[in-house]
A and B are shown apart, each in its own frame.
Chain A
């Protein structure tokens, strides 16, 4: 078995770098279904995994892809699946149950915008579940976070998602894909391989809380409680970085590729003498509540810049907890294909939105969407009667 490694810097598409990082982290199985802008992740796994002694299956649907990854992970192999919003929606049942089954599954989410923040952090699945969600700002960080994803998945036996986007997946960057070292993890005693069948010590990988006769029995409710109490420890994995926040009157929160634009725009405004700062959650769950609270300590106003209609802003409000007003300063903005990030993701646009927030002015319109403002019909403006008896 060989390890694919790229010791020196090379110009590489984001998808390829992420996949090479996954293989460096000993990922040996991938199953996925093509969907823009995730497709190239699947392509590179298909191209690179066989030579690394692994398997990549072009699954017949997203539901089958996550099922295959479920099986591969259950054997103790490091394995992953992925898609974009709609495809991930199809996988949600497995995502929530994989958390109960304590499967260290890694999920590559190359989203079409940041409007899947809720899907990633709240989930569309059922029950009480959480995934660790890592949001790289660029390809270089993606290489490290992909390896961290596999480590954290095994450390906590919990699914971990990489939340990327069109820019992360398709930008060519000069990167060096090198191994990140992590502390050793225990053997996967729980993984199935058939060797213990018939010994009286066979294993169960199951979300149902049912084990073999004579082994510790959780029951479904017991398992849910067990996982819930585990999550209190997983919350310690929260990560964030911040800049210019020591004396900032205005602090902007952003994640992923747009955070890089925010950081640049804030630096420009600092050059003009404006006391603005930025904070970037690296883990979207667990949300870095303490880091955001610390970064906004001196702020009189906090902004959430995101390419969505306002989702991250909810978590920012929870973190700031009323210490300062929190305003949404992003917007829905995609390119003409609907797959990529749109004209709002431009340093000039971002800078002027932060300036407007800082100066207490209304936000400028999102470019390209001026004609798409909803006009309610008269029957919609009429009040709806009370019906509660």
Chain B
């Protein structure tokens, strides 16, 4: 296999001020290779990059231990240069608990998909949050079992077509999606809860900040921190690769609302986050109309 160079790439550390800028290639040092084995258009590599950047930015590299779930993203266990404990499907929060209790000074995080965390291991993540374990749980949520070929998960939205909801997820027959971030935010032991996305550069930048805040929460030993990252899965959604970001924004993104669900002791509801996002979008529109985005 040939090595595909990463650059030039878009600067994802800042929202673009005057349109997207091409910057010098920047590969997180934690990546052992530029390869990944996931499908074109997959959002998970972006989410993993956001985690790697946050760890590097905060200077936490030599304390980082990952408890990894089972899904497409599992392949990153071998390509990211972080001490790894591979977990069984659903079990990462418990495993991370054991790691953190034995290594209180380590920066311990889990990486799970929606099938892993919200289907198979729902009680594990809830109990770990309720215990206020000082670790960071990261969920890559694409609303589908990507690895098995596109089956419904507990976060699939109503109307979503999957291999076992051929006509679309029907509430009466298949039940309703779980808004896991909203659920975790209600638990006393959860100190920081946020939901990001990787469907455009602005969302990636916002999400990287969320991951950073989550790790800072862990370092301050304030309790459980949680970041949900909505990711594209055009293969599992049965749509053309290029339509992934728009599909995410218009389906998953309309139900699992982006924003900080719990920060600084404040819990915010889906409705409040939605209203805030609408207001922010209008603000950006206005800035654009005035001739460019402010920093």
Contact = CB atoms under 8 A, between A and B. Distances in A.
B94 A197 contact: no
Interface in A166-207: 192-200, 202-207
A211 B78 contact: yes
A79 B64 contact: no
Interface string B76-118: 0111011111111001011111111111001100000000000
B81 A212 contact: yes
Interface residues of A, number: 47
A210 B95 contact: no
Given A67-B91, A67-B94, A197-B64, A55 B102 contact: yes
Contact of A196 (B83, B85, B123): B83
Contacts of A57: 97, 101
Contacts of A268: none
Interface stretch (A69-77, A155-163, A238-246, A282-290): A69-77
A73 B98 contact: yes
Contact of B91 (A29, A63, A199, A202): A63
A67 B97 CA distance: 8
Contact of B82 (A101, A202, A213): A202
B127 to A, nearest CB: 4
Most chain B CB inside 10 Å of its own CB: which residue of A71, A72, A196, A208 = A71
Given A197-B83, A200-B32, A212-B32, A71 B95 contact: yes
A72 B83 CA distance: 14
B65 A197 contact: yes
Contact of A194 (B33, B64, B79, B87): B64
Contacts of B100: 71
A32 B30 CA distance: 36
Contacts of A60: 123, 127
B63 interface: yes
Given A74-B85, A206-B86, A197 B61 contact: yes
B98 A194 contact: no
Contacts of B30: 197-198
A200 B103 CA distance: 21
B106 A193 contact: yes
A94 B101 contact: no
B99 A75 contact: yes
Give me the 6 closest cross-chain CB pairs, A-B, nearest first.
A71-B98, A67-B94, A206-B86, A72-B98, A198-B61, A71-B95
Given A195-B62, A210-B77, 16 more contacts: A68-B94, A68-B95, A68-B97, A71-B95, A71-B100, A71-B102, A72-B101, A77-B102, A193-B83, A193-B103, A194-B83, A197-B83, A198-B30, A198-B62, A198-B82, A207-B88
Interface of B: 29-30, 32-33, 61-65, 67, 74, 77-79, 81-88, 91, 93-103, 106-107, 123-124, 127
16 contacts: A29-B98, A31-B98, A61-B123, A64-B124, A97-B88, A192-B84, A192-B85, A196-B62, A199-B62, A200-B81, A204-B86, A205-B84, A206-B84, A207-B88, A210-B86, A212-B81
